[in-house]
Every structure is written in C-alpha cells, then in structure tokens.
Structure 1
C-alpha cells in the first residue's frame, strides 16, 4: 500500500508561468504603470498558453533574474547619492555665502542712510526753529517800520476829490483857502504849508477819479485842528465838488484797514465805539472795558468780547503774518536691531564639522 498523496486545491495553485520570485515582487513596486501593464499583458498571454515543462519555466526564471540584475546595475549607487549631496552642499554654501555678503553690505548701507537721514532731520528741525524766530522778528520789524512811516506822515493831510484841472502853480493857494474856510479864517491866512503835491502816480483819464493831494504842514497842532473841524462838518465842498480831508497813512496801514473792513462794519452796525491806534491796532470799548486787536493772536478774545466768533479775518492774518513752515512728522528714533546670542540657533556639530582632534577621538 502506498502513501496517500495530499489533495491539491486547483484554485490556490498558480500556474508555473505566473510564479514571481521575491526580488521581482519587490521591484514591481517601483516599476512605472506602463511597465506594469506590459508585464501584466505578458503574464496574461502566458496564462493563455498551455503549461510548459519545468525546464522551460526554470529558463524563464533565470532570464528574469538576469534582467533584474541588469536593471539594478543601472540604478544610482550610494556613492552617487553621496557625491550629489556633496555637490548640493557646496553649491548652497556658495550661494548662502554670497547672500550673506550682500545682506551685510545692505545692512551697512541702510545703517549709514538712517544715520544720515536722522542728522538731516535734526538739522531741518533746527532750521525750522530758526525760521519761526526769524518770522516773529520780521513781523516785529514790519510793525516798527510801519510805525516809523506813519510818524513821518504825522503832519500830512490828504485831500481827496479835488479836480485835476487845478494845476501845481495854484494848488497851494487853493488848498490853503479850503483849510482856512474849514477853520473859519480869511482865505489868504498863511497856514505854513511846507510841501504840497499830487499822489505819485500817472495822471488818469478825465473820466477817472482825480489823484489825491498830499500836503505837509509845519504845525502838527494846526493839522489836527483842520482834521477835527473837517470831521465835524462831515461834508466839505470846493465849488460844487465834494471833497474829503483825511490823515495821510502808509500803504501797509491802509491795506490792513481795508482787510479789517468786515470788523469795522460789524462794530458800526452794533454801535460799538472804536478807534485806530499807533502802532497799528484797533481799540473797541464794550461795556466800559477797552479791548485791543493788535496781532492775529488777539483775534479770538477780541471777537469773543464782541460776541462775533464767526467773523472771518483770515485775509488780514495772511497779510500781516508770514506763512508757517510745515513741521516734520514725529518719527521714532532708528535703532540697529541685532539677534541676541541667546536666540541664535546653534549649529549642530556633525563629524564632518568637528575639529581634527575631535574626529580622531570620535573614530577611536
């Protein structure tokens, strides 16, 4: 009696042509899909063939192993990877070294630019301070020159409205007769007029207003009497022509009075008494108290006393005050930022970076 042979499961048994070695199964993971499809196609074609002999299957296995070995020989070795890593490290070191040099140069240039900008800003701030002080000095000097100009005109009177037909030879006699008439004296009475002439501008057309007549009297008292009586008369005529007797003032004073006309109109409308002062100012009496407007800084309290805070006097401010320079924006002082030693990342010392003596110790 012989031994019973083990029963074989036809489903679990694979055809000999489809048997793969362990190396083939391992390499199959790295094959491209196209190669896998071709292998699958070859396998399917082999399955379609009738089972060969054991010798044929062994030959095919040998051929497959030889193909696998030839494929493995074409793959990069460990030394190739080490050479590639060394080349990459060398290239990165060179690039990083160049970047560090450029960053260091930019850092030094930026620091120099910041220091220069800071010095320029400090110089500019000092210049702005000097400019403001000079502006105040110029404003004060302008007031003094204006006052000196008006003091030089203290004995001058300005006659407005006298026709241009009255020429220079008879001009003194005509004006003197007008002044004597205002004072109630004889026309031939000598008032000691030192100088008299028309305003220094070209003569206009006959249809235009005549030029003003400026006359200088030797006596300041006599000049004040004529001016006071003319104000009391309110209307002074020469023939059929109405004329005006005014105090001669500097151009700067006249321009300021013109720009302050909205203020004087408001004071007249509210029946507030006011007078002009020298050096230039305007004084108003409100509820028994005198308020004075001299500089732009006095506008707010003066208008507040007059209860006219909404009155706009910006044009007068622009005329008497120099424009203020634009101040610099506040800027934080520049500080050079450096990384603290405690936060610097320490480089790990690998065997390649160790000193020669440490390497010998490590290898020993």
Structure 2
C-alpha cells in the first residue's frame, strides 16, 4: 500500500483582511501610480497585510471620490452642449444668410449680364445688316464712279512704245502723222485733239520703257475709226518703232480685266 496522504493542518488564528482592489479609472483620474502586482507564488507580503488586526486602517476611497466628483463637475453637461449647438447654429445661420445675399446679388448681376448680352446681340445683328447694306451701296457707288470715269475716257487713246525725244516733243504732230498712216490718209490731214500728254509719272532712265502717250480725240467717230484700224492691222510701226494702241480705261477696270483674262482667253479660244 502506498503512503497515506498527509492532511493539511488547520491553522486557527486571526483572519487578515483581503487586499482591496483599486479601480483603474480612479487611478487614472487621481494620477496615482498603479500598485505592483504580486504573483501567486511570491512569499513577499505587503506592509498593509503585515499589519495586525489591531492596527488602524486608513480611510479608503474618500479623497478619490471627492476628486472624481470634482472631475465630473468639470465635464460638459447636456445644457452646455445645447448652448454650444445653439451658438454654432446661430453662426451657421448668419453665414448662410451672408452666402444667400451674395448668391442673390450674383444672380442679379448675371441677369443683368444676360440682358446686356441680348441687347448687344440685337445691336450686333442690326449693325451687321447695316454694314451689309452699306457694303452693297459702296460697291454700287464704286462701280458707278468707275463707269463715270470710263465714260470720261471714251474719246481717249493710249499709245504704248513711242520713244521719248531729248528735247520738247511735239506730240500733236506725231499723233496726227500716226493716225493718218493708220487711216491711210495724207500725213498733213488735220486731226483735232483736245489734249495729248505723257502718263502722269516721272521720267525714267534713258534705257527704261518710255511712258505711255494719252490723247483725247475731239470726235468720237474719228477715235473709233482709229481704234478699228489699229485692231485690224497686225502690227503698228512708226519710225521703226513697234507701237501698241489701246482704249484708255480706268485702273479699276484694268485690274478687273486682268482677273477675268483666263475666262476671256477661253472664250476667244472657243470663238
């Protein structure tokens, strides 16, 4: 048989009070350090436990409860939160009122800008229509003035290639002789000219192209005879110089004819 188990002796004596557990919340609020934790197998005994039953025990929890109450009094209450929310709501309402006023003011300004834009658009349409009308009127006036200019040049003949003499040249006599040769008449046959002059520009170098001669024949019928004779002749030669005879026209009409030259060439090619 195995050995018998030894029963633990019952020790009778005065009972020691159990250690009081301290709440962590109290320790945090009071700022005291947490007591060292004693392991179950430690043989060390706290000084509070060593004291006998007859030693006076300090009042536990009195100061901590007062400090906790004071701390709780400092915490905001429901009334404080309501007052805070009321102040915030008042401030937000004021800010929203300012924003609303700004938005309304911007709305009025935007409405004014839209009205101005509509007015400007109408004015632009009116101005565009007026400009188109004025452009057509100016084109009509330009063509009318150009036609009047050409009508004033109906009796004019432009001679190109006639050399410029060193002295004072007698253009009336030269033109009379040239036109009589084209018309196959005696050279001394009189031809009435209203005027005869060189083109209105400065005289160039001796080797430069001579200026054109512009003359106005008094009788339109005689001018037409000269132009018809010049068109029918293959080449106009005067004093060993080849000349070109044209109808005198305005500069605008000349530029328009240059623009239409490809079309007129095609028309002439197709008769």
Structure 2: distance between partners of 1:208 and 1:50: 137
Q: Distance in 1 between matches of 2:196 and 2:56?
A: 145
1:214, CA displacement in angstroms? Answer: 0.9
1:239 aligns with 2:231: no
For 1:57 and 1:196, locate their aligned partners in 2 and report how far apart those are by CA, in whole Å: 149
Equivalent residue number for residue 130 of structure 1: 130
> What corresponds to 2:204 in structure 1?
204
Report 1:312-327 matches (<5 A). Answer: none
Question: What displacement does 1:263 show?
Answer: 3.8
Alignment correspondent of 2:146: 146
Q: Once the 2 structures are TM-superposed, how far is the Cα of residue 215 of structure 1 from its aligned partner?
A: 1.0
The aligned residue for residue 118 of structure 2 is 118
Alignment of 1:340-355 (within 5 A): none
Greater shift in the superposed pair: 50-59 or 228-237: 50-59
Aligned residue-pair number: 244
Structure 1 residue ranges without an equivalent (≥5): 1-14, 274-364
TM-score, with structure 2 as normaliser: 0.78
What's the C-alpha RMSD, in Å, of the aligned pairs?
Answer: 2.9
Residue by residue over 1:118-171, the C-alpha shift from the partner in whole angstroms, topping out at 9 and shown as x without a partner, is: 111211110000000110111111111111111111111111111111766521
Q: For 2:99 and 2:56, locate their aligned partners in 1 and report how far apart those are by CA, in whole Å.
A: 65
TM-score by length of 1: 0.60
Cα deviation digits, residues 70-128 of structure 1 (max 9, x gap): 22122112222122112112211221222222222222122112212211121111000
2: distance between equivalents of 1:167 and 1:231?
Answer: 31
Q: Which residue of 2 aligns with 1:42?
A: 34
Could you say which structure has the larger radius of gyration? 2
SS at structure 1 position matched to 2:243? strand
Matched, 1:18 2:10: no
1:95 counterpart SS class: helix
Q: 1:18 to 1:217 in 2, by over 3 A?
A: same
Question: Higher relative contact order by CA 8 Å / sep ≥ 6: 1 or 2?
Answer: 2
**How far did 1:18 drift?**
3.4
Runs of 5+ consecutive residues of structure 2 not aligned to the other structure: 1-17
Cα gap change, 1:234 to 1:50, in 2 (>3 Å): farther
The within-5 A match list for 1:151-162 is: 151-162=151-162
**1:234, distance to aligned residue in structure 2 (A):** 2.4
